[in-house]
Chain A
Amino acid sequence: MGGSDEELMLAYAGGDAAAFDALYRRHKGPLYRFMLRSVKTRGEAEELYQDVWMRVIEARARYLPRAKFATWLYTVAHNRLVDHWRARGLAAVSLDEDELEIPEPAAPPSSEPERIAEGRQAAERFAAALAALPLAQREAFLLHHEGELGVAEIAAATGTHAEAAKSRLRYAMNKLREALGDG
């Protein structure tokens, strides 16, 4: 089923269940990974992921295509994550300036097997560094890379202004680069 995300959402709000199927197929992977990398366990991620889609379903009649559907979808996801963090006594913004423990960069590889091993280690270090990012910075990075949102859209989705969103994203990139030894 073709059409933009916004058209599909409007069609679904009008009663077209097939439109939702198409919309879901487009966004299920990125949104799932966004949730999976924002929380600690797969169980939490699945619960939050399902909650987000339930909220989308319930809010279908109120949906207005004033922005990209993805921005609206990740706004819903952000709000659900904030609820989740608050329930655990965490605050996304207050952790902005947390220092990240960056692993020591590995020595340059000297041969092909070593290069392969180094690549695997880099991926592992990257994953560890991503998981260690402060919540708001990690969220900004995930929204940019999974949700394919720009700075303005990240700001809209997270309820902040563009400068703050840009700063969070920049901090996240810098810390990840440092973790990989590129800083």
Chain B
Amino acid sequence: MADPDDRLSRLYRELPREEPSPLLDQAILASARRAVVAPKRNRWAMPVSIAAVLALGIGVSVRMQTEQPGVESSLPSSPAPSSSSEYPLPDTSEPVHAEAAPPSSAQKPAPPAPRRKSEMAREQAPSAKADAESRATQPEPRAIPSAPAQPRGDPEPFAGPKLEALDKDLAVAPPAEKLATAPQTATAPAAAPALRAKRLEAQPQAGVARDSAAPPKDAREIELERIASLRAEGRHEEADKGLEEFRRRHPDYPIPPATWEKVRSR
């Protein structure tokens, strides 16, 4: 007679030999593969991501250090024109009211020629290259002098003297002083771009909000400064014409006494 345990084992082996379904097999094997493959991918993904973020951060930091301080913070508050024709500065033939500007708003005259503009840019920015990059997407004072004519085609024969006078009266920063001593050889077509450049460059230093809020008033002040500079140089005929034009365009504008002393007919 067979061993009872053997008989039990034989009976058990005669039971159906069920197996898991192929789908279940595939699911389990796929999970097993994913478990050992995924960590390898993640092991590289994390260091690469960290390295990329660090490289990006360092690159941006280095670049920011080469930027001119204050350019990023001051430019967004300005009207941000993209070209000389879009800049909202009024016609350069309009007179200006110099006394209305606060003493802190040190305005620098824009050079009438591209050469002077480049010099000014080098003096103001620690890096000429960074300066160019930072201004590429902002109001572009450097590009303005290269414009051959005024936006509105309004001839302005007093551009050079006007700039000189503005330098004397308003400039407080070293770059502006240097510009004030530069030769005044600007021609009339360069006057409007120069004014725009001057105003743009004055904004980062002071009076940004005020300038952007009331550009027509600035234009009158600047025009009066220009007339005053003509008067100071003894070019009374041109100053008279400028004053007459100013009165014609702004008959109601109250010229402060101090300014009037500078611009009145001799």
Is B15 at the interface (CB under 8 A from chain A)? yes
Is B182 at the interface (CB under 8 A from chain A)? no
A contact residues vs B (CB 8 Å cutoff): 12, 15-17, 20-21, 24, 28-29, 32-33, 36, 46, 49-50, 53-54, 57-58, 60, 122-123, 126-127, 130, 145, 173, 176-177, 180, 182
Q: Which residues on the B side are within 8 Å of A176 (C-beta)?
A: 8
Query: Do residues A49 and B24 form an inter-chain contact, with CB atoms below 8 A?
Result: yes
CA distance A29 to B21 in the complex (A): 10
Q: Which B residue's beta carbon lies closest to that of A177? A: B4
Q: Which of B34-42, B136-144, B210-218 forms contacts with chain A?
A: B34-42
Q: Which residues on the A side are within 8 Å of B35 (C-beta)?
A: 57-58, 60
Q: Which B residue's beta carbon lies closest to that of A176? A: B8
B contact residues vs A (CB 8 Å cutoff): 4-5, 7-9, 11-12, 14-15, 17-21, 24-25, 27-29, 31-33, 35-37, 40
Q: Which residues on the A side are within 8 Å of B8 (C-beta)?
A: 126, 173, 176-177, 180
CA distance A60 to B32 in the complex (A): 10
Contact A126 to B36, CB < 8 A, known contacts A24-B25, A46-B20, A49-B20: no
Whole-angstrom distance between the Cβ of A95 and the nearest chain B Cβ: 21
Query: Do residues B18 and A32 form an inter-chain contact, with CB atoms below 8 A?
Result: yes
Query: Do residues A46 and B24 form an inter-chain contact, with CB atoms below 8 A?
Result: yes
Whole-angstrom distance between the Cβ of B13 and the nearest chain A Cβ: 8
Q: Which A residue's beta carbon lies closest to that of B27? A: A50
CA distance A50 to B5 in the complex (A): 32
In terms of DSSP, what is the predominant structure of the interface of chain A?
A: helix
Whole-angstrom distance between the Cβ of B114 and the nearest chain A Cβ: 65
Q: Which of A24, A32, A49, A173 contacts B32 (CB 8 A)?
A: A24
Q: Which of B4, B12, B18, B27 contacts A145 (CB 8 A)?
A: B12
Query: Do residues A24 and B40 form an inter-chain contact, with CB atoms below 8 A?
Result: no
Query: Do residues B20 and A123 form an inter-chain contact, with CB atoms below 8 A?
Result: no
Query: Do residues A53 and B28 form an inter-chain contact, with CB atoms below 8 A?
Result: yes
CA distance A121 to B65 in the complex (A): 91
Whole-angstrom distance between the Cβ of A166 and the nearest chain B Cβ: 14
Whole-angstrom distance between the Cβ of A179 and the nearest chain B Cβ: 10
A-B contact pairs, 6 of them (CB 8 A): A17-B33, A29-B19, A46-B21, A123-B14, A182-B4, A182-B7
CA distance A132 to B212 in the complex (A): 92
Whole-angstrom distance between the Cβ of B68 and the nearest chain A Cβ: 54
Q: Which of A17, A123, A127 contacts B37 (CB 8 A)?
A: A17
Q: Which of A16, A122, A145 contacts B36 (CB 8 A)?
A: A16
CA distance A12 to B34 in the complex (A): 12
Query: Do residues B31 and A28 form an inter-chain contact, with CB atoms below 8 A?
Result: no
Q: Which residues on the A side are within 8 Å of B40 (C-beta)?
A: 15
Apart from A36-B18, A126-B11, what are 16 other A-B pairs with CB-CB below 8 Å? A15-B36, A15-B40, A16-B36, A17-B33, A21-B32, A24-B32, A50-B24, A50-B28, A123-B11, A126-B12, A127-B15, A130-B12, A145-B9, A176-B8, A177-B8, A180-B7
Q: Which of B11, B12, B29, B37 contacts A24 (CB 8 A)?
A: B29
Q: Which residues on the A side are within 8 Å of B25 (C-beta)?
A: 24, 28
Q: Which of B11, B20, B21 contacts A180 (CB 8 A)?
A: B11
Query: Do residues A17 and B19 form an inter-chain contact, with CB atoms below 8 A?
Result: no
Q: Which of B15, B21, B28, B31 contacts A123 (CB 8 A)?
A: B15
Query: Do residues B36 and A12 form an inter-chain contact, with CB atoms below 8 A?
Result: yes
Q: Which residues on the B side are within 8 Å of A182 (C-beta)?
A: 4, 7
CA distance A21 to B28 in the complex (A): 10
Query: Do residues A17 and B11 form an inter-chain contact, with CB atoms below 8 A?
Result: no
